[in-house]
């Protein structure tokens, strides 16, 4: 069975480290992706990291994920709070999806308190900054180990 994990980041996350450091910190998306690849290697899995500002592209990547991946880590950014299309794609998955947010969305504006993705997620990690992606990788790797 494949031990590859797809890590998806949604709209505006390409701006990390460049704007609003008081909310999102100074770590760039390239830094996070490098941390994820290093953690994946440590856990004996592979990480394929992608970012898109396009809802449709994210939907397509989620739809195609079971062909090549054992799990999906998704930070859908603001689409988390708006996108029924991403929810439907997540619900159609037959592999686990873990939802990640850098910030604690429940400490922020009320419109961020609801996430459509959560309805399709195996689990949700928020508020731990970039460490949340590593926590999600650890959870998926442990699930793969348990399934062996």
Residues labelled as active-site residues: 24, 101
Based on the shown chain and the rule CB under 6 A, indicate whether residue 62 belongs to the binding site for ligand CA2.
Answer: no
Distance CA 122, CA 97 (A): 6
Q: Where does this chain touch ligand CA2 (CB under 6 A) — which range of 39-47, 49-57, 98-106, 135-143?
A: 98-106
Based on the shown chain and the rule CB under 6 A, indicate whether residue 112 belongs to the binding site for ligand CA2.
Answer: yes
Q: Where does this chain touch ligand CA2 (CB under 6 A) — which range of 48-56, 57-65, 72-80, 90-98?
A: 72-80
Based on the shown chain and the rule CB under 6 A, indicate whether residue 12 belongs to the binding site for ligand CA2.
Answer: yes
Give the DSSP letter string of 21-61. HHHH-S--HHHHHHHHHHHHHHHT-EEEEEE-S-HHHHHHH
Based on the shown chain and the rule CB under 6 A, indicate whether residue 101 belongs to the binding site for ligand CA2.
Answer: yes
Residues contributing to the site for ligand CA2 (CB under 6 A) = 12-13, 15-16, 19-20, 24, 75, 77-78, 80, 101-103, 105, 112
């Amino acid at each position: 069975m494949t031990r590859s994990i797809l890590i998806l980041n949604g709209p505006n996350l390409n701006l990390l480290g460049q704007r609003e450091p008081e909310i999102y910190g100074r770590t760039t998306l390239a830094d996070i992706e490098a941390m994820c690849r290093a953690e994946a290697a440590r856990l004996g899995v592979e990480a394929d990291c992608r970012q898109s500002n396009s809802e449709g592209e994210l939907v397509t990547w989620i739809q195609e994920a079971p062909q090549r991946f054992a799990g999906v880590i998704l930070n859908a950014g603001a689409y988390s709070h708006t996108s029924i299309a991403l929810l439907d794609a997540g619900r159609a998955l037959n592999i686990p999806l873990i939802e990640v947010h850098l910030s604690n969305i429940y400490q922020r504006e009320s419109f961020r308190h609801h996430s459509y993705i959560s309805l399709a997620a195996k689990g949700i990690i928020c508020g731990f900054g970039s460490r949340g992606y590593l926590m999600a990788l650890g959870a998926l790797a442990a699930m793969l180990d348990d399934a062996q």
